[in-house]
Every structure is written in structure tokens, then in C-alpha cells.
Amino acid sequence: MSSICIVDDNRPTLARLKRAFGAAGFDNVMTESDPLIAVSRIREHCPDVLIVDYNMPQLNGLAMVELLKHEGIVPNLPAVLLSGLDLSELRLAAFKAGAVDVIDKRVAEQELIHRVSNFAAAGHGNPAVLCQLREVRAQTPEAGATLLRMLERLSAWHDEPSGQHVHRVAAFAAAIGAAAGLGPSEVDMLRAAVPLHDIGKIGVADVARRSGREAGPTLDDLRAHTTLGHHVLKGHGSQALDVAAQIALTHHECWDGSGFPQGLRGAAIPVFGRIAAVADAFELITAIPNRPLHWLVNRARRVIAAESGVSFDPDIVRAFEASAEAMVDIKLRIDGAALALERSAQPALAS
């Protein structure tokens, strides 16, 4: 008959719907509780219909449909949004995003199956068409760049609503990379990929919750953001995303082998990961509030110099020192622009 992908962070709901659609004659019922992983699987397996829950952590159903629309997958893949919320408020936004229907989660299973089967039978989700789209996207740099920007916004919002943190780290990494002797195209690639270095943090709380740790994430859970980020970013046919996946996995490796998650040592750590580690350290130290900038920069330089040969590649530390003045200018420029934007958004004082 047809294939279907069901995305819902509630595992019992996934199991129930998988049984129901399987019994209804769907040949392949793919289920996923993580929407970001689901996006990757949809690209690979080209289902006929997508059912996605609206209320999910990390990426809600509406945002997931919008992401797939930007990639050209929706509306070729008919997307049905499920929600227990007031559908009158959600429906218009869902249709604008590209969904073909919005269904109350409390609807009878047989009605849901019939409504979804109608979309599958209409042929909107022709697998051959979707697979052709995937092949075209893999050959089109613009598609990878679009996805990169969307994921960057997602990562930035999780870290800091203003998004300045990821932009500062990216600019710092580009300055260090240039001082380390990378070519212009490599510097551009580094600048594009570094903003996603911590995207795996979005899934950390969910990992802890699924493991039943009500007290919150453990140190191992927090460290898992490296492998989670790598898993989300790898294998999309985009060089920039492949570099981002490499950085996500390796930016906490240490020159002396004491880092995580793989315990890589020395030159076994990819150079982009080594650069991102120093850029991230400089950003974290100089982001401390209510301290003079010159004091923060001097402290960062002392800390990073002390970790040369331990946490950081000595050559990258020397490149950092050579670009320290440029990095101060970068921080002033980015923070100044953010402050100006913040001020412009405030209402004028009454005279």
C-alpha cells in the first residue's frame, strides 16, 4: 500500500499508531520520537505521508513542517499535524507552513487512518519524486546553506535568545583560522559551520528525561551533546554540514588526550575542532557579565596560554595570540550591534 512516517515524542502514542497503521495495510510505518532525527530519516526513506505531533521539545511539529517546506520536501510529502490544542488557532499557521491537514489528537483512530489514507492514495507523496528532490538537494549548495542557517537559528535560540553567542564564536574561530594559515575558502567554511558546535545540547534534557533522571542531566548526559550534535548534522550531502558535524563531535577533545567523547590526542583531532575549542573558550571567558572587557580579555589570554599543550594545540594558541586584537574588535562590533538593536526595539521615553 503506502509508507508513513509518524513523529511524536510520546513513545506509547508512537507504538499505538504504528500498530494501527500497520494493521490498516501500510507497508512501512516509520516512527521517530526526535524531530531532528526524523527530518534526516525522511530525506533518506521518502515516505508517502508524514504525521507529526505539534507539541514536541526541541522542534515543534509546525517548525518541522516549515523546515521540510524550505527544503522542498513539503508539499510533495503531505504532512498532517496532530494536536490536542485549540485547532482554530493552529490551523491557519499549519496550512501556511505547508501542512495538508490538522487533526485533533483525540479523534478516533479509524477516522485518522482514513483521512491519512486519502492523502496517500492521492499520490501527493510520490516516492520517486521525493527521492529525486533529495538527489537534487545533495547537489545544490544553496539547499545546504539554507538548512545550515535554519539549524543555526535553532542552536542560537537554545543558547541565547539574541543569538550573539554563536555569532561571536564563529567570528572568533574565523579570525584564529586565518591566523593559523587556513585559506579563504576554509575560513569561510569554518565561519559557517562553527555556529552549530553545541546544537546537540538541545537534546540533552530529553536524554535525561527518557532515562528517568528526574533530577536533571548528569555530567555524562551533558557530554553527550557532542555525539548528539554529530548524529543530527552528519550525512546530509552538504560539505558545510559535514564540517559542522565534525566540529560538534570534536570541539571538546584535548591536545593531551584527556577530552571527550573519543579521547583523541594531538593531530588526531581535526584542525577545525581544535580551532573551535579555543574560540569557544575565549567566548565563554569574555562573556562574564559586569566585568571590564580588558580584564576579561587578559584573563582569557592567561587561561588559554596555560592550557597550551594540555587542552589546546600550541600552534592554535599561537594563532589565537596573533589574532587577539582582532577578536576584541569583533566582540565590540557584535555586542555593540546587539545593544543598538536592543535599544532601537525599546519604546521612546515620553518627553
What confidence score (pLDDT) does residue 337 get? 45
Residues 111 and 146 placed together within one structural domain of the fold: no
Looking at the structure of the chain, the number of domains it has is 2
Q: Using CA atoms, how far apart are residues 173 and 197, in angstroms rounded to an integer?
A: 11
CATH number of the CATH domain containing 74: 3.40.50.2300
Residues 146 and 173 placed together within one structural domain of the fold: yes
Helices 239-250 and 184-193: crossing angle in degrees, nearest 10, is 70
161-212 per-position pLDDT tens digit: 445 778 889 899 999 999 999 888 888 888 888 988 888 888 776 666 666 6
CATH number of the CATH domain containing 183: 1.10.3210.10
What is the DSSP secondary structure assignment for residue 312, as one 8-state letter? B
- Residue 45 included in any domain: yes
User: Domain span at residue 226?
Assistant: 141-344
Q: Using CA atoms, how far apart are residues 167 and 279, in angstroms rounded to an integer?
A: 11
Residues 252 and 336 placed together within one structural domain of the fold: yes
Residues whose CB is less than 8 angstroms from the CB of residue 185 and which lie 6 or more positions away in sequence, other chains included? none
Q: Using CA atoms, how far apart are residues 65 and 79, in angstroms rounded to an integer?
A: 7
What confidence score (pLDDT) does residue 313 get? 96
Residues 179 and 324 placed together within one structural domain of the fold: yes
**Boundary residue ending a domain (107, 137, 167):** 137
The answer to whether the CB of 180 falls within 8 A of the CB of 275 is: yes
Q: Using CA atoms, how far apart are residues 30 and 42, in angstroms rounded to an integer?
A: 9
Q: Using CA atoms, how far apart are residues 2 and 49, in angstroms rounded to an integer?
A: 8
Residues 98 and 208 placed together within one structural domain of the fold: no
- What is the overall mean pLDDT for the chain? 80
Q: Enter the pTM of the model.
A: 0.56
* The C-alpha cell that represents 136 in the structure block: 537534487
What confidence score (pLDDT) does residue 85 get? 77
